[in-house]
Amino acid sequence: MNFKEVETLPLYWEMVNAEKIALLNLLNEVKPHISIEIGTKKGGSLQLISKLSKQVYSLDIDPSVLELRALFPAVNFIVGDSKKTLPALLTKLLQDGEQPDFILIDGDHSMEGVKSDIENILTQNISKPLAVIMHDSFNPECRLGMLSADYSRNRNVTSVEIDFVQGIYSPTELAKGEMWGGFGRILFNAEVQRQEPLVKQSSQYSFEKMYSVSRHFWLRQQNFTGRIKSFIFRKYYS
Ligand SMILES: C[S@@+](CC[C@H](N)C(=O)[O-])C[C@H]1O[C@@H](n2cnc3c(N)ncnc32)[C@H](O)[C@@H]1O
């Protein structure tokens, strides 16, 4: 599959082109036997993941995702809070002697929700390479969840890059002045054991600059000058 084909996929998708390209390339490289998507919504990312994986599990808290069953007959839909459904699925796969090769985390966007999804993966015994993409690493709440996970608890984590793809200052009316998007990436390798995995934030400078004028900063009301700068920036540039 190439990017021209990805661009013409029909379902509503909450990702920008840079993220779609990165996802396409990663899936082409990993060639997953088993993929798990946490957060499916209208099926945007699922339409790509399901084309490039042999077997897919979609986890979503909203039962309306079951309407997608007709479009994705080969996908296993599991409805419920991923805090419970993800560990249950990973345990079941392990009992069957299986393990996912790819996981997309794009479900609960609270700090606790993101951290919980990551830590439920980190408790797994890894028997083959695993790539995990964490969507919305440019959102301060999600980023905090990603940064507060204890990556050292799994010695097979070889790399954590919070800004694998940098996110954006949202142009939409709904999320005006907010920071969204971006891919964090975790790589696991069963043959390599690290004590202290490196957590990289290659776009930390951009993140901090943008944060200081964002709605997130404004809402936290850190100081008066910051609030004024944030207000002016959002008024004229968002
Ligand atoms: C941003 S949307 C996913 C977008 C989709 N991946 C895409 O690219 O088009 C987030 C989804 O996560 C689901 N969600 C929210 N909290 C959840 C939770 N605790 N467990 C599982 N799914 C959750 C929502 O119902 C929603 O469908």
Residue 60 lies in a domain: yes
Interstrand relation of 179-180 and 168-169 (parallel, antiparallel or unpaired): antiparallel
Phi-psi map region of 57: left, alpha, beta (phi>0 left; psi -120 to 50 alpha): beta
Percent of the chain with pLDDT over 70: 93
Residue 119 lies in a domain: yes
Amino acid 230: pLDDT = 64
Composition of the chain by helix, strand, coil, percent to 5: 45, 20, 40
Interval between CA 127 and ligand 1 midpoint (Å): 28
Task: Give the residue numbers spanning the domain of 136.
Answer: 3-203
Above 90 in pLDDT, residue 174?
Answer: no
HSE-up of residue 181 (Cα within 13 Å, Cβ side): 21
Residue 113 lies in a domain: yes
Amino acid 237: pLDDT = 53
Please report the DSSP string for 109-168 in residue order.
-SHHHHHHHHHHHHTSPPSS-EEEEEE-TTSHHHHHHHHHS-GGG-TTEEEEEEEEE--E
Interval between CA 28 and ligand 1 midpoint (Å): 24
CATH number of domain containing 27? 3.40.50.150
Q: What is the mean pLDDT of the chain?
A: 93
Phi-psi map region of 39: left, alpha, beta (phi>0 left; psi -120 to 50 alpha): left
Residue 217 lies in a domain: no
* pLDDT tens sequence across 73-82: 999 999 999 9
Q: Does 41 contact ligand 1 (Cβ within 6 A)?
A: yes
Quote the longest CA-to-CA distance of the chain: 57
pTM, to two decimals: 0.93
In angstroms, rounded to a whole number, what is the distance separating the alpha carbons of residues 147 and 127?
Answer: 25
Amino acid 221: pLDDT = 65
Residue 216 lies in a domain: no
Among protein residues, the one whose CA lies closest to atom 23 of ligand 1:
107
Residue 183 lies in a domain: yes
Residue 35 lies in a domain: yes
Interval between CA 58 and ligand 1 midpoint (Å): 10
* pLDDT tens sequence across 65-111: 999 999 999 999 999 999 999 999 999 999 999 999 999 999 999 99
Interval between CA 10 and ligand 1 midpoint (Å): 19
Amino acid 70: pLDDT = 97
Q: Does 67 contact ligand 1 (Cβ within 6 A)?
A: no
Amino acid 126: pLDDT = 92
Residue of 9, 15, 61, 84 to test ligand 1 pocket, by largest number of atoms within 8 Å of CB? 61
Q: Which atom of ligand 1 is nearest to the CA of 60?
A: 22
Above 60 in pLDDT, residue 217?
Answer: yes
Residue 210 lies in a domain: no
Amino acid 171: pLDDT = 76
The structural domain count of the chain equals: 1
Q: Does 19 contact ligand 1 (Cβ within 6 A)?
A: no
Amino acid 192: pLDDT = 87
